[in-house]
Each structure stands twice: as C-alpha cells, then as structure tokens.
Chains A and B, each alone.
Chain A
Amino acid sequence: MKKIEYTKIKGHSIPYYGLLGGLGFTILLGLLSTWYMEHNGHHVTGMTNQIVWGMPHVFAIFLIIAASGALNVASIASVFGKKIYDPLSRLSALLAIALLAGGLVVLLLDLGRPDRLIVAITTYNFKSIFAWNIILYTGFFAIVGAYIWMMMDHNMYKFKKKVGLLAFVWRLILTTGTGSIFGFLVARSAYDAALMAPMFIIMSFAFGLSIFILVLMAAYNWTGRELGDAVIARLRSLLGVFVASVLYFTIVYHVTNLYITEHHGVEAFILRDGGIYTNLFWFGQILLGGLLPLALIYAPGVKTCRTTLGAICTMIIIGGMCQVYVILIGGQAYPMEIFPGYEVSSSFFDGMVNSYSPTLPEIILGISGMAVSMLLVTFAIKVLSFLPTSLADSIADPHAAK
C-alpha cells in the first residue's frame, strides 16, 4: 500500500456549480416550507394532536442515525486497524458531520418555536434523554471535527487513534441516545423497549454505509478519479453484514412482542392490519430495504457491478426511511392503550387508529435537510483535501503491492 495523497477537487465545472445551485435551491424551498408552516401554525401540516411527530422527524431521525453510521468507516480504520479503510476516513468523518447537521436543521425547523433555539441549548433538564441528545450532538460535532483535524494535520496525526477511539465511543452513545428517545417512552406500545437503542445502532451502520458508498462513488465518478474494486468489494461485503444484522434485530423485536400478550395488538397492527404501515413494513423495510439488497450483495455475476451496488444502497436508504416511518408514524397511529380491555371512544380520537397524510411542505423540509448534508460535503471537498487523489487498487489495497 503506497502513501495516500489527498487533494481538493477542482470544482470549477458547470455541473459542479449546477449541483451546488440545485442543492441551494432545495434548501431555499425548505426554508420557504418552514416559513409557511411556522407562519400559519402546524395545522397546515399533516401533524395533529394524535400524530405529533411527522415526516420532518422521519427525515431528521433517519439522517441523525445515518450520521453516526457514516463515521463507521473511519472507526474501522483507526479503532480496529483495518488499513484499507484508512484512505476513506476523512470523507467518512466529513459525511458524519454533514448528515448530523442536515438532520438537526430539520428537527430545529419543525419545532413549534424554532426561534427559541437558544433556550434549547442553554436550559437543560438533565433527566430528559432529549436534553442529553442535544449535548451528544454538540459533542459529536466537536469530537469529529477534532478527529478530522488530527487526520489532516501532520503534527497532530499521532493523536488520531485516540481521538478516533473517542469518536467511536461517542457515536455509540449518541445512537443509544437516539434509540432511547423511543426506548424510554412507556406510554406507547410500539416503543418502551431497551432493544431500540442497539437496533438504532445497527440501523445506523447500514444506513450510514449506504450513503457513504453512494457519495464515494459519485464523488470519484464525477471528478474522474480512480476508485478501485478492492475498496468497493470490501465496503460491499461489509454492507451485507450490516443489512443482515438489521433484519436480525427487526426479527428479535417483533418475535419478543409477539410473545407478550399486551403487545399483540400493536404487532397485529404493524404486521397485518395496519394498511400503509403494514405495506411499508413488508414491502419497504423488509423486502426493499433488507431481502433484495442482501440477495443482490451476495448474488453471483453482479459482484463488481457499480450500478448494482448503487441500486443496493438506494434500496437500503429507501427501506431505512420506511423503517423509520413505520416505527415513528406507525407507533403513533396505533391507538394508545389507556384503558386495556375496553372499547374506547371520545372526541379526542381515543381508541381509534390515527390517520396521517404528510403534506408537501413537510416532505420538502425533510428533503432540504438531505440537501444541507450534501451541500456541506460538496463544498468541503472543494476547500479541504478530504478525498484521496486515487483509490486505485495499487494504492488503496494493502495486499496489492505484494
């Protein structure tokens, strides 16, 4: 394995500026959506007093989960000493920061009072896992930022491994915190499970790596840099393990619930009677986000096909969005069990399956969060040397030099 040379991308081409412009325009639309929702109040969205978290939260939570997962590539290099991942570490850390920023922007702009951001970051209730998350997010930016610095500054390089370890531990705690937002909710049948935290961690592995592979392939393809099969093959097989693990956790979660009588109702709802949620679970999460990618990853004949890998990553991302949607919206749509053993009715929709139709502004706000992430990456790789000039097998593969 030769010494890796990192260079900035030129970023003078019309397509580059077109990409920046397109992402900027999407962000502008997101801001307009926010203004529309905040000016009129949330009644213009699909969110109600029954479905209190909606589409913006699906995007935000997906991006926050993916952010910590995107850091995995760097962690494998610096914490577990796998050399082939080392050249990818800078991009991995950059993407992690960018995805978290995108997710948090969406979360912030959907608040009832986004103007009170200063309250959110200065007034804490330390019993709240939400408050802990705010600290974890801020810490993540600082630690991963320092990690990038250690990687880029020759004088600081000796600290890279230690900071990398800290970043790895921090990201595990961060995703534990994200999962616990749901795990700590005793009120709702679909949540209230310690399994949520490790399940979110394994989801982050799969979602984050999928986005990483797509960004890596796009960056190298669009800048004409060489990306060898060795790196791609390694990432591909790693992705297979992660997708299988997500399926495993999903099975454990549902089988456990199916065993416990008080959860039969919510399980029947998600797995059989939930309409859109049932369809999203089976066709989105399980088939598109799990079984199909898994089959394609291990299918003979397409192992080196980049287009297939791109499709696999896209499927995992869409399946992941479906999974978050089913957990988040499906969990709220199922009526809260306030009076077990009774048929319940009221003017406040007690005992009813709550309906939710996401509106366009909510969806645009969510997509604009993704645009924020991509804009940050697109800009950063132009101003700093995040990308190796070449990831050809002769350079990136530690065994190629033999």
Chain B
Amino acid sequence: MSDQINDSRRSFLSKAAVAGSITIAPGVFLHQTAQAKPDDQAVSNKTRWGMLIDTDKCAKGCTGCVDACNSEHGLTGNNRPESDTQYIRKVSLVEKQTKHEISLPMMCQHCETAPCVDVCPTGASFKREDGIALVDKHICIGCRYCMMACPYKARSFVHEDVENQTLSAPRGKGTVEACTMCVHRVDKGGIPACVEACTNDDHNAMVFGDLNDENSEISKQLKKHGGKQIRADLQLNTGVRYQGI
C-alpha cells in the first residue's frame, strides 16, 4: 500500500518537475540571467553584462521595447520630442546602395572604454565593474559634455521638472541620464525591461546575458553567429552587439 502511494507520489513529483522545468526554462535558459546578487555584495568584473540584438527578428513598427523602457523608468515625456528623454529608440536604416532595410533598437552601448566616462569632469559618468555605464545624479553638474562625446546619441538631458518618478529609476532636472541596462532589475537577478518585452511579444530579437560566461546564451550565439559593434572603428568594445547589420 505504502509502495503504491510512494509510486504515485513519485510519478506526480516527476511530472510536476518536468512541467515546472518547461514553465521556468525560458526564463532561466533563454535569458541566462545571473543569480540575484546580495545588496551588500559589490559587483565584480567577472561578469560583463551585454545584449545581443538580432535585427532580422526586430519587427518594423514595433515599439514594444521602447514602451516597456518608458514605463519602467517613468519616462512620460512632455510632448516635446526634441527635449524629451529617450533611453531607447527604434532606428530605421536603409542601405544607400542596395536599399536593404533594417530596423533596430538603439540605446547606450555600455562601452568598455566609454567616451562619456572619459570626458565627464566630475566622474558622475561612471562604469560599474560589470560593464554597466551609469550617471551618478548626485554629482552630475549638467555640463552635457558626455552628450557631446557619446558616439551613439544615447544620452538625454532632463530639460524640465520630472513627475511620476519610479522608485527604481530616480531622475533629476538639470542632470544627464541614459539607459541603465535596468540595473535595478539585473542586480536582483532579472533582465532589462526591453528584453523582457521583446520576448513577451514573441519577437525574441534581444538576448541579455553575461558576455564573460562562455556558457551563457548570449556568448554561445555570439560565438556561433557573430555580432557587430556599431561604430566598431572607434574600438570602444561595446556591451551591446548586433546581428544583421
């Protein structure tokens, strides 16, 4: 009797484990996120966070990643496109010779040798050990030299009072800001909002992961298919790579 119960329990548990694995697997294996880091533990350069974007999968006209980013960081805008902040934008490209069309998301490329970090007079622009470029809003004086220096136009200046701030993304009038690679999520073992939105929309054009971990999905894909840097001539060793350009 007890053996029968054990058999049935074993069978139930193993089926549940399989079902559970199928449910959780995409989150674990496709995105290859790191384990949540304890708050008191410093980031280390053993990890280099990066992103791989497959432009062939990036749907024209889709702004899922942009909408998710805006919502995540409370970027409501003031209907002034020239001065409103954009962390991520969709860029349409047409090759002049062949007329080949490409659509891709563009954001801070989290360069290893970031020009924004080099030029910042106070050190407000800085890089974490794990490769994420950030702005320390407490010591940014709003000189905008980093915006002059960024080769990707990835940074925005906060031109007016900000409202509806989210707890995880503090902003401030008169300082410069940009994509944080959703550092608040990443530090808790999550993935950036844009990548999550792209996956949820079933486009799967964006992969996030550790470039230093050769077993991560991003490293495997980069090894197999390659990935280009935008403005590779500048040799900035960007954390964001693209396929199909």
| B220-236 contacts to A (CB < 8 Å) | 230-231, 234
Mark contacts of A31-45 with chain B using CB atoms, 8 A cut-off: 1 yes-contact digit, 0 otherwise.
000000010111100
Closest residue of chain B to A343 (Cβ to Cβ) is B94
Interchain CB contact (< 8 A) of B175 among A113, A134, A181, A346: A113
Tell me the count of chain B residues lying within 8 A, CB to CB, of chain A. Answer: 57
A125 and B123 contact, Cβ closer than 8 Å, known pairs A111-B142, A113-B174, A345-B91? yes
Q: Are A49 and B151 in contact (CB under 8 A)?
A: no
* A residues less than 8 Å from B95 (CB atoms): 341-342
Max count, chain A CB within 10 A of own CB: residue among B80, B91, B231 = B91
A111 and B174 contact, Cβ closer than 8 Å, known pairs A128-B121, A187-B150, A349-B82? yes
Max count, chain A CB within 10 A of own CB: residue among B106, B121, B158 = B121
Max count, chain A CB within 10 A of own CB: residue among B93, B117, B155, B156 = B93
What's the least CB distance linking B244 to chain A, in Å? 13
Max count, chain B CB within 10 A of own CB: residue among A42, A114, A332, A345 = A42
Q: Are A338 and B151 in contact (CB under 8 A)?
A: yes
Mark contacts of A117-140 with chain B using CB atoms, 8 A cut-off: 1 yes-contact digit, 0 otherwise.
101100111011111011000000
Interchain CB contact (< 8 A) of A49 among B82, B91, B96, B142: B82
| Residue B195 is within 8 A (CB to CB) of chain A in the complex | no
| Residue B140 is within 8 A (CB to CB) of chain A in the complex | yes
Query: What's the Cα separation between A349 and B139 when bound, in Å?
Result: 29
Max count, chain B CB within 10 A of own CB: residue among A40, A113, A349 = A113
| B57-93 contacts to A (CB < 8 Å) | 66, 78, 80-86, 89-93
| Residue A184 is within 8 A (CB to CB) of chain B in the complex | yes
A43 and B151 contact, Cβ closer than 8 Å, known pairs A125-B120, A187-B115, A346-B91? no
| Residue B173 is within 8 A (CB to CB) of chain A in the complex | yes
Q: Are A338 and B92 in contact (CB under 8 A)?
A: no
* A residues less than 8 Å from B92 (CB atoms): 344-346
* B residues less than 8 Å from A181 (CB atoms): 145
A347 and B123 contact, Cβ closer than 8 Å, known pairs A42-B157, A111-B141? no
Secondary structure of the A contact surface, majority rule = loop
| Residue B34 is within 8 A (CB to CB) of chain A in the complex | no
Max count, chain B CB within 10 A of own CB: residue among A52, A53, A186, A338 = A52
Query: What's the Cα separation between A317 and B153 when bound, in Å?
Result: 33
Q: Are B106 and A43 in contact (CB under 8 A)?
A: no
Max count, chain A CB within 10 A of own CB: residue among B97, B102, B145 = B145
Mark contacts of B109-122 with chain A using CB atoms, 8 A cut-off: 1 yes-contact digit, 0 otherwise.
00000010111111
Query: What's the Cα separation between A185 and B118 when bound, in Å?
Result: 10
Query: What's the Cα separation between A344 and B94 when bound, in Å?
Result: 7
Per CB-CB distance, the 7 closest pairs between chain A and chain B, nearest first, are: A112-B142, A112-B174, A41-B160, A187-B151, A43-B159, A130-B121, A48-B82
Residues on B lying within 8 angstroms of A by beta carbon are: 66, 78, 80-86, 89-97, 102, 106, 115, 117-123, 139-145, 147-153, 155-161, 173-176, 230-231, 234, 245
Residues on A lying within 8 angstroms of B by beta carbon are: 38, 40-43, 47-50, 52-53, 111-114, 116-117, 119-120, 123-125, 127-131, 133-134, 181, 184-188, 332, 336, 338-339, 341-350
What are 5 A-B residue pairs whose CB atoms fall within 8 Å in the complex? A42-B157, A112-B173, A127-B118, A338-B230, A348-B106
* Given contact pairs A112-B141, A181-B145, a sample of 9 additional A-B residue pairs in the complex whose CB atoms are under 8 Å apart: A42-B83, A52-B157, A53-B148, A116-B139, A117-B141, A131-B122, A187-B151, A348-B89, A348-B153
